[in-house]
């Protein structure tokens, strides 16, 4: 799930929350973002082109299941480009269950344990979460502030609210407990 090659294929899909652009290296999904999102997860390769790929069909199938209100039971192939720390945080995002939430602090505690450190900055975790290259599939919308407060989402707080409503997680206290989900 990690690598360094540039994006070379894009595809567009529609969703109940607006248009979505998918990116791939030709084999794995390298990007997924909403129209109007604050930032793109990675710079686009100058020679990118719009073309249909099998991985885009898999991602679209995942999105259709998700937006129908069901938790997809598979992941399309992913290629996550980022630092080792970012990839550790992004892999943690995959452990947050559908309908659940965790706080930035819970992720920071879990990542610190995994790294053998006494503590980790929630702000550092927030920076990595904010650079999530594959929104929705890596469910950064399930990360909330202390006490369950809705904070930060590149796709906008209104989208975050709607995604959490779809999952039945809006207004619930974070479920990760004092230690959060296991990051391994």
User: From first to last of its 184 residues, what are the pLDDT tens digits of the chain?
Assistant: 444 444 479 999 999 999 999 999 999 999 999 988 876 555 555 566 788 999 999 999 999 999 999 999 999 999 998 999 999 999 999 999 999 999 999 999 999 999 999 999 999 999 999 999 999 999 999 999 988 888 888 888 999 999 999 999 886 666 654 344 444 3
Catalytic residue chosen out of the listed positions 89, 107, 137, 140: 140
Looking at the fold, whether 38 and 90 belong to one and the same domain comes out as: no
pLDDT of residue 4: 44
Per DSSP, what are the bridge partners of residue 138? 135
SS3 111: helix
pTM of the model: 0.85
Q: How many CB atoms lie within 10 A of CB 46?
A: 7
Q: How many domains does the chain have?
A: 2
Query: Rounded distance, CA 6 to CA 45, Å?
Result: 6
Looking at the fold, whether 110 and 151 belong to one and the same domain comes out as: yes
Active site residue 39: no
Looking at the fold, whether 40 and 92 belong to one and the same domain comes out as: no
Range of the domain at 125: 84-166
Query: Rounded distance, CA 136 to CA 156, Å?
Result: 13
């Amino acid at each position: 799930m990690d690598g360094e090659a540039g994006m070379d294929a894009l595809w567009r899909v529609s969703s109940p929350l607006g248009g979505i652009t998918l990116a791939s290296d030709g084999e794995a999904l390298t990007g997924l973002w909403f129209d109007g999102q604050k930032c793109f997860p990675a710079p686009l390769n100058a020679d990118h082109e719009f073309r249909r790929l099998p991985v885009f069909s898999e991602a679209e199938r995942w999105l259709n299941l998700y937006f129908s209100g069901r938790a997809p039971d598979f992941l399309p192939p992913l290629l996550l480009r980022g630092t080792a720390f970012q990839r550790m945080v992004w892999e943690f995002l995959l452990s947050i269950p559908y309908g659940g939430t965790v706080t930035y602090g819970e992720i920071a505690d879990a990542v610190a344990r995994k790294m053998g450190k006494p503590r980790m900055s929630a702000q550092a975790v927030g920076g990595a979460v904010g650079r999530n290259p594959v929104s929705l599939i890596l469910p950064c919308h399930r990360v909330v502030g202390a006490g369950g407060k809705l904070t930060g989402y590149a796709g906008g707080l209104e989208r975050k609210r709607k995604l959490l409503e779809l999952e039945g997680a809006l207004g619930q206290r974070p479920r990760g407990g004092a230690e959060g989900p296991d990051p391994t």
